[in-house]
A and B are shown apart, each in its own frame.
Chain A
């Protein structure tokens, strides 16, 4: 027990030193991430695209945002509003944000935990994509699911075979934003 204590104490200064160093580099990167996110926020406020909105969370941390999209007309999602969360990594925009549906959603490419299967949020991520382009992609995915790689196999099948039943399940699962909060 004593030895363990001693070890920790001996190791401590070095560990603190290295964490200080890495936090220095990290701070630099965070500033760049912040700069980019501020630019995106500015753009979203200057020219918002219809049916989408996004804003940093109230806690002052620019690395997590809350966004909404509304379902496109003439789709089973018409008139519904969905809430999403964006979490940006420290090397954003060179790695994609983690995007989750907070509103329960029934859709071939989203699972019941709100996770999203979309190539541009994974291997096809490019640094030109941004919050706005991700939201627009998700909005179009609502109307045109990619049934080739479904996360929800039942939804993929129903989309092709029984649109009525599909829409019923969409509405059954949906919750209004107010209900979530």
Chain B
């Protein structure tokens, strides 16, 4: 999938196709020169245009009636946007797939994102996505905290913001309907908490009812607009036009996408007093291997964070992994390997045996050397090849295990060298055997036939072939059996 194959319908069509019903004269050439126009799901119009293509580059040849018909079609043009207004919570690896074959920066960032923020909700790109993401995120956070008192306090607080609307001269008979829709959501959340409903489907449904959703978003728009008009000094410096004009052209209209100034004002005026944090994660082509986070609220302890994923022109909601989820106990890699592969047949192994065996800890360590769990290699919690205690060799009920380290998308290459301990501590070899459970084949005396001594070993004093090893014995190269 190339970059152009990315489903653009996730993005707001309004940013790409500003509706310009006002002047027919320059309207058509502009659209027609754009090949995207034909690809955007308006079969009836494109077939009309193709059918009349000889006439159609000469606008004068079209009758007034035809012009009118085109104008009407273009006025009513709306890109087809599949999907609900607010999607169910889903894996964010879908985003990684979307970008898998695109720009490497995007591919890297999205695959890292799928690990740090494994869940997301897609917002429909209908010109309201940023507003919808914040509003939904706010109510969802409130529901998840399950604090009836807080819901009540927030309900009262949002209601009290009506004062702002009155101060900028909005009339109660107009804004009352929007406030009612928001209040209804607060009531539903209160009831859900009291009845112990854990399913947030009612909230998703409420936001997917277009009329209801529009009312709530209008409420948030007008609160933001009033807040900006009442605090112009905070925002004027960031705007190219007076705050009043900005609000009436960029905040109030029902289908204008939120921009950064508007987003900041929405957070300042409506969300901030809740104590929730709001963070945007920018997915762009800037340098780095992860999305760029930006906190819109002050740094403070917070009960909930609303996280937005920003892609140019579009906002979605992101979620970090839930701490309560019981993750699969970490599978010991060595154990898995030895049990998955019946024999140390190098040809059957999808990796270089030499480097893997280097990562087997305690292979030549005597029990006198530190006992259980001690290893010449420091345990690196971020490495999947960490040293395991015997208890961890087999999956245990997760309650006793400490929270497992974050699974890493692609395991880092195994360590090729470990700092050797001082020679004085190098224990004498003993027959007690290693402290980890190994495939019996590993212990076979003729191991060296199937597990050839390879370069990594040569540099280790644990290697018999190393001159510092007590049992030093130089390698005798035998060509006929070197690669079995």
Contact = CB atoms under 8 A, between A and B. Distances in A.
B210 A43 contact: no
Interface stretch (B153-161, B167-175, B331-339, B428-436): B167-175
Interface string B2-19: 000000000000000011
Nearest to A150: B23
A28 B211 contact: yes
Interface in A113-139: 117, 119, 122-128, 130
A126 B253 contact: yes
A28 B211 CA distance: 9
A19 interface: no
Contacts of B221: 126-127
A40 B23 CA distance: 32
Given A127-B254, A128-B222, A91 B177 contact: no
Interface in B20-47: 20-23
A130 B171 CA distance: 11
B178 A123 contact: no
Nearest to A153: B25
B393 to A, nearest CB: 57
Contacts of A130: 174
Contacts of A128: 170, 174-175, 222, 252
Interface residues of A, number: 24
A128 B224 CA distance: 13
Contacts of B170: 128
A21 interface: no
Contact of A91 (B23, B173, B178, B210): B210
A32 B254 contact: no
B324 interface: no
A39 interface: yes
A127 B214 contact: yes
Chain A at the B interface: SS class: loop
A124 B253 contact: yes
Interface in A29-78: 29, 32, 35-36, 39-40, 42-43
Interface in B418-436: none
Nearest to B128: A94
B174 A149 contact: no
Query: Most chain-A CB neighbours within 10 Å: which of B22, B178, B249?
Result: B22
A149 B23 contact: yes
Contacts of A36: 177
B395 interface: no
Nearest to A41: B173
A149 B27 CA distance: 12
A27 to B, nearest CB: 11
A43 B175 CA distance: 13
Interface in B199-224: 210-211, 214-215, 218, 221-222
B330 to A, nearest CB: 49
Interface in B243-264: 248-249, 252-255
B293 interface: no
Given A39-B173, A39-B176, A43-B173, A127 B218 contact: yes
B254 A35 contact: no
A133 to B, nearest CB: 9
Contacts of B178: 127
A158 interface: no
A33 B255 CA distance: 18
A127 B253 CA distance: 7
A169 interface: no
B173 A126 contact: no
Contacts of A122: 19, 21-22
Given A28-B211, A32-B211, A94-B211, A123 B173 contact: no
Given A43-B171, A128-B175, A123 B21 contact: yes
Given A91-B210, A122-B21, A126-B248, A40 B173 contact: yes
Given A28-B211, A35-B177, A40-B173, A94 B22 contact: no
A29 B215 CA distance: 11
A171 to B, nearest CB: 26
Contacts of B252: 126-128
Given A36-B177, A130-B174, A149-B22, A91 B214 contact: yes
A130 B178 CA distance: 14
Given A91-B210, A91-B211, A125 B174 contact: no
B18 to A, nearest CB: 7
Nearest to B211: A29
Contacts of B22: 117, 119, 122, 149
A95 interface: yes
- 4 smallest CB-CB distances across A and B, nearest first, come from A126-B252, A94-B214, A39-B173, A149-B22
Given A124-B253, A126-B253, 19 more contacts: A28-B211, A32-B215, A39-B174, A43-B173, A91-B210, A95-B254, A117-B22, A122-B21, A123-B20, A123-B253, A123-B255, A126-B254, A127-B174, A127-B218, A127-B222, A127-B252, A128-B175, A128-B252, A149-B23
